[in-house]
């Protein structure tokens, strides 16, 4: 995309704001809140991150396809 913008003389300026928290920040918050259940969400590797969360001593829940949950 940047190459295309440059090819049509549009300058790309990055402001460096992704809108996402860092992994370290998310684990810190999860550890501080100590909620009953955590669902690894918005990731392509839910079981990888679920193991890291479980290593903090927190309960990880993996939703099942076509199953409803009451929150």
Residue 11: inside a domain:
no
pLDDT of residue 70: 84
Count the domains in the chain: 1
**Domain, as residue range, for 27:** 21-66
End-to-end CA distance of the chain: 40
Residue 33: inside a domain:
yes
pLDDT of residue 26: 87
For 61, the token pair is 């829940």
SS3 38: strand
pLDDT of residue 55: 93
Residue 56: inside a domain:
yes
Residue 2: inside a domain:
no
Average pLDDT over residues 31-49: 90
Average pLDDT over residues 23-47: 89
pTM of the complete model: 0.61
Residue 6: inside a domain:
no
Residue 30: inside a domain:
yes
Residue 43: inside a domain:
yes
DSSP 29: H
């Amino acid at each position: 995309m940047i190459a295309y913008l440059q090819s049509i003389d549009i300058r790309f300026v990055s402001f460096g704001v992704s809108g996402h928290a860092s992994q370290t920040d998310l684990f810190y918050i999860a550890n501080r809140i100590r909620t009953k259940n955590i669902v690894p969400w918005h990731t392509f590797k839910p079981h990888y991150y679920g193991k890291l969360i479980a290593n903090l001593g927190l309960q990880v829940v993996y939703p099942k396809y076509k199953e409803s949950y009451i929150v």
